[in-house]
Chains A and B, each alone.
Chain A
């Protein structure tokens, strides 16, 4: 059974803009799927539709075999935004335990789970700090721990490392892969970085704008587990080129620029 099934999803906003049109996608268990595309291609909108944060105009989304609204009510997924969105008035431990409080876990179980999560994101010892005492990268790790705390089958990530510097981003990419391995969850990951998408994913979904469509789906057959060395393999560069070309084919006005380019890593 697919974790996420998207059939004929179209989203038209009130102003009349068509953000998404005819989206078909199935995401299997334990997959790491990246949605990539230029701004305005509706990748964040699609992620929010999967999470039932917004409703599609037409089409259906099923998560774990249930309608998206039911899946949300059952807390089947955790979500991570570009900003950590931690609550300033809560300590790190209490931020991570927020979803557990809402799910009515008792205090002892919450405490144990928070420690486990802090170990997972390697922030043990920071439980009584407040968010502003942590760096941006650490805050984002807390927000990942919070999203995973109640052990959801699905993790939705909306450009989670977009606001971080390149070095922190690469380190957190490795860490995310380790967490993905350890937690056994399925991840849908929105990004506009080609290298990030290729490095992390088992599949990259390339989207094109106006209206937002899926223009290509590329299998990433790089061996698991991936390490820093993966970024230097020839196959990595081939796949980066492949995704870049698919992106440029998707947006017509860029087509002419595609041909002479080689596989240098974009920023």
Chain B
């Protein structure tokens, strides 16, 4: 009886899942088509009318989307070598590695700092202003210092970049961890008190699980920030193998081949989306919440 009842249910669930997946893919394609249409339509209108505000539209400022995509399948310089897409995928892998290590370092440090600040009020008062101040220093000013310091320790240059990425990553995690740990339900805390639970148990069994939605919001911000950090960090480290190197290079030759820079940006954006989706997936696995709480 139970199995008979269960089968149609499982079938219906699967059908519902397929439908919702199809709807998502459809929506994604629709959005891409609209964006494409908007870009090309804008381009066409501005060129036809000769409008120069806010900027002159031509093939340098706004190359055709299809030209950008075609650039991916050309060799960027005459002669031998892989097509741009293959080169960019290598660079993406290189940058992703830096960003991933940076993200892991930053998220871990940020989380531990948040936990520490939440446990010791005095530490929070003394340290939090400097944590905030650290983020007002431009990453472009910090990056060369990190590269020089770590370089003198004979650390691999890519690791310096990871450290720079972690500098952008830790801050949102610290702030949100702190906020999450401090917004624990009062009665849930009373309950723990009634069980005579020690501070470690309260932290581990109540405060941290309750803070996970906050922490994951921060991780989503940090995941994309770690890629920005890695790309920016490559410049002062003179690393040529990553997306940052390609962007600096293509920037110099923008007037000749604007498509190359756009194509690189496109790939960088895809990397950012991939990182973001990994975090969303991890959140779905880790965070157990009532459906209406899932954002």
Contacts and interface: CB of A to CB of B under 8 A. Distances in A.
A102 interface: yes
A81 interface: yes
Interface in A165-205: none
Nearest to B191: A85
Interface stretch (B52-60, B66-74, B204-212): B204-212
The 3 closest A-B pairs by CB, nearest first: A132-B290, A89-B288, A79-B194
B209 A87 contact: yes
A241 to B, nearest CB: 35
A101 interface: yes
A89 B187 contact: no
Interface string A91-113: 00000001101110000000000
Contact of A77 (B194, B205, B293): B194
Contacts of B212: 89
Contacts of B194: 51, 53, 72, 77-79
A169 to B, nearest CB: 20
Nearest to A86: B188
Contacts of A232: none
A75 B198 CA distance: 13
B5 to A, nearest CB: 15
Contacts of A81: 187, 190-191
Contacts of A99: 195
A87 B188 contact: yes
B270 to A, nearest CB: 33
A259 interface: no
Given A77-B194, A79-B191, 11 more contacts: A72-B193, A74-B196, A75-B195, A78-B194, A79-B190, A87-B188, A88-B289, A89-B288, A102-B197, A102-B201, A130-B288
Contacts of A79: 190-191, 194
Nearest to A91: B288
Contact of B187 (A85, A98, A131): A85
Contacts of A245: none
5 contacts: A53-B190, A53-B193, A77-B194, A79-B194, A85-B191
Contacts, number: 56
A83 interface: yes
Most buried by A among B195, B205, B210, B290: B195
B191 A89 contact: no
Interface of A: 48, 51, 53, 72-75, 77-79, 81, 83, 85, 87-90, 98-99, 101-103, 130-132
A35 B193 CA distance: 22
Q: How large is the interface on B (under 10, 10 to 19, 20 to 34, 35 or more residues)?
A: 20 to 34
A52 to B, nearest CB: 8
B82 interface: no
A72 B185 contact: no
B129 interface: no
A49 B205 CA distance: 25
A87 B288 CA distance: 10
B138 interface: no
B196 A89 contact: no
B211 to A, nearest CB: 11
A90 B23 CA distance: 32
A54 to B, nearest CB: 9
Contacts of B196: 72-75, 102
A10 B195 CA distance: 25
A17 to B, nearest CB: 19
A66 to B, nearest CB: 13
B187 A102 contact: no
Nearest to A77: B194
Interface in B247-295: 287-291, 293
A101 to B, nearest CB: 7
Given A85-B188, A89-B287, A132-B291, A98 B193 contact: no
A87 B204 CA distance: 13
Contacts of A98: 195, 205
Contacts of B291: 132
Nearest to B287: A89
Nearest to B209: A89
Contacts of A83: 187
Contacts of A77: 194
A99 B196 CA distance: 9
Interface in B182-241: 185, 187-188, 190-191, 193-197, 201, 205-206, 209-210, 212
Contacts of B289: 88-89, 132
Nearest to A54: B190
Nearest to A100: B195
Contacts of A51: 194
Contacts of A102: 195-197, 201, 205
Contacts of B201: 102
